[in-house]
């Protein structure tokens, strides 16, 4: 069994970028925890932040249930994430220590949203900090570092994968999970040209075309760390 921790900046980030893969991980017997660092409280022009915070965390919890994963959040406000904040670093360190993951999946450092980049910085800092005996949290330090993967990005620019995962068999579950994020689907449909479910399909079809299947998700192992010697993703 592989222990996997998928960390997104906002509720719905992980669903959009790697939930098909996480569903396959659960199916093969892995333990999967999904974390949104922020609570998503600025993701609407109509719903007030404190109410939206509760709505979005509830949506993320429902989405995780679809694939049999657990959900948690560090409950940082949108656009308030500071990867250099000592308290936030300790919260992330404790989360990782409590899960004891073999694999962590998070945003690429060059992703478009400031919260996405800050999330990657926070995770990368914690990769080292989780193993330090004199950094005290409720859980014991990790005995070894985890393998870090970056997931595909959706805000433009180039993402060059090192691994693909065929999600043709779990694409429906991915769509069902993402559909629980009603607040984001509605606000994007009414205020922009973005259709979240169409975006999901476009990404999955494109990555599938690249690796010779119907639907796929793309990943890149973190090149600032040693490359994994065996395949850990499905």
User: Tens digit of pLDDT for each residue in 20-47?
Assistant: 999 999 999 999 999 999 999 998 888 9
Structure tokens at 106: 């998070």
Which is higher by pLDDT, 116 or 154? Answer: 116
Find the largest Cα–Cα distance for the chain.
Answer: 50
Distance CA(5)–CA(234), nearest Å, equals 15
Return the structure tokens found at 94. 């404790």
Phi-psi region of 152 (alpha: psi -120 to 50; beta: other; left: phi over 0): beta
Residue with tokens 């570092």: 145
Rounded to an integer, what distance in angstroms lies between the CA atom of residue 125 and that of residue 208? 32
Going along the chain from its start, the domains and CATH numbers come out as 3-221 (3.40.50.10320)
Q: How many helices (H) and strands (E) does the chain have?
A: 7, 7
| Three-class DSSP category at 54 | helix
DSSP reduced 3-state for 85: coil
What contacts 144, CB < 8 A, 6 or more positions away?
A: 131
User: What tokens appear for 216 in the block?
Assistant: 């796929």
The pTM assigned to this predicted structure is 0.97
Report the share of the chain in percent with pLDDT over 90: 90
How large is the angle between the packed helices 196-211 and 182-191, nearest 10 degrees?
100
pLDDT of 125 above 90? yes
pLDDT (0 to 100) of residue 201: 97
Burial class (CB in 10 A: 0-12, 13-18, 19+), 27: middle
Would you state the pLDDT for residue 160? Answer: 96
Whole-number mean pLDDT of the chain? 96
pLDDT value, residue 102: 97
């Amino acid at each position: 069994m592989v222990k996997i921790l998928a960390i997104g900046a906002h509720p719905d980030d992980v669903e959009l970028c790697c939930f098909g893969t996480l569903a396959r991980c659960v199916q093969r017997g892995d333990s999967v925890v999904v974390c949104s660092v922020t609570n998503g409280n600025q993701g609407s022009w109509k719903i007030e932040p404190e109410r939206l915070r509760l709505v979005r965390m509830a949506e993320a919890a429902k989405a995780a249930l679809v694939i049999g994963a657990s959900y948690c959040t560090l409950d940082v406000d949108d656009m308030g994430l500071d990867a250099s904040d000592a308290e936030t670093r300790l919260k992330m360190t404790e989360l990782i220590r409590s899960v004891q993951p073999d694999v962590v999946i998070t945003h690429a450092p060059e992703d478009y949203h400031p919260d996405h980049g800050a999330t990657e910085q926070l995770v990368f800092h914690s990769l080292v900090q989780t193993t330090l005996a004199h950094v005290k949290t409720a859980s014991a330090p990790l005995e070894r570092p985890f393998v870090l993967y970056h997931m595909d990005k959706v805000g433009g620019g180039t993402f060059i994968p090192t691994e693909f995962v065929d999600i043709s068999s779990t694409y429906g579950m991915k769509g069902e999970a993402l559909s629980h994020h009603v607040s984001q689907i509605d606000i994007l449909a009414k205020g922009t040209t973005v259709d979240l479910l169409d975006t999901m399909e476009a990404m999955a079809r494109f990555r599938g075309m690249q690796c010779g299947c119907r639907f796929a998700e793309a990943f890149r192992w973190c090149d600032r760390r040693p490359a994994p010697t065996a395949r850990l993703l499905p």
